Structures are given as C-alpha cells and as structure tokens.
C-alpha cells in the first residue's frame, strides 16, 4: 500500500441522516455524525483492496470541521486521500461536499487490524 490512494462515498440527505433523526441537533440538515460516517466509509473502502486476507481497518481519530449545512434532498459526498502510512496507522486528508459547496474538511486516522484478533480481544473484555 502506498500514499495517494483516493476514496469516495456519496449519499443523499434524507430523514435517516439528518440531525433531528440522529440526536445531534433539532434541525432537518445533514448531521455531523452522518458526515463522519460518510468520510469513514470513503477512507475504509479506498484501502480495503490493499489489505491482506483477514485484515481490516478501524477508525481511531477524526479531526473534522463541519463547515456548512445541507438540506434534505441534496447529494453529499466525501473524498479522501491517504497521505501518510506509519506502521499500521493510515492518515487521510478528508473533504466533504454538497452540490453547492464544501461542507467539511479535516484529517482521519485508521489502524490496520487483524479482524479475528481484534474481536477476540474485545470479547475477552466483555464476556
């Protein structure tokens, strides 16, 4: 895996991803948690073809500014670019857009994991 890998994910603002529905506010606008999920989807899917069998990635840090509101019915999308690899830590430059403007930007870090080992460790804590 090398830096420069780009990711993309899109959705339409609807009743399931507005602030009033996800508990992050009272307005019918694209929610910050939904924008974050879209960014994570773009980043995770961009690197998944480069992982070995049994590996995955998990989000571990997100520093994002939500710059502008987006109303119901508008298309929104996230673009990511892998800008650094430090052992198992992947760092992405991330940007989110509506059809009118940039709505978010920041940095996202993901960690490469062994899926089974990750789940075993978690289950050991909770069982």
Which positions are catalytic?
32, 40, 66
Positive or negative, the CA dihedral 82, 88, 89, 94 is positive
Q: Among 102, 108, 90, which residue's Cα sits nearest to residue 39?
A: 108
Beta bridge mates, 106: 64, 94
**For 28, which DSSP code?**
S
Concatenate the DSSP letters of all residues of 51-98 into one string. SPTTEEEEEEEEEEEE-S--BTT-EEEEEEEEEEEETTEEEEEEEEEE
Give the three-class secondary structure for 2.
coil
């Amino acid at each position: 895996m090398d830096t420069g890998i780009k990711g993309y994910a899109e959705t339409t603002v609807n009743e399931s991803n507005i602030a009033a529905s996800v508990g992050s506010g009272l307005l019918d606008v694209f929610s910050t948690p939904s924008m974050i999920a879209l960014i994570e989807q773009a980043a995770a899917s961009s690197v998944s073809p480069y992982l070995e069998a049994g590996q995955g990635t998990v989000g571990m840090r997100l520093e994002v500014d939500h710059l502008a509101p987006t109303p119901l019915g508008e298309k929104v999308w996230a673009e990511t670019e892998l800008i650094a690899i430090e052992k198992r830590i992947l760092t992405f430059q991330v940007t989110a857009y509506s059809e009118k403007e940039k709505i978010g930007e920041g940095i996202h870090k993901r960690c490469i994991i062994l899926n089974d080992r990750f789940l075993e460790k978690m289950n050991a804590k909770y069982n």
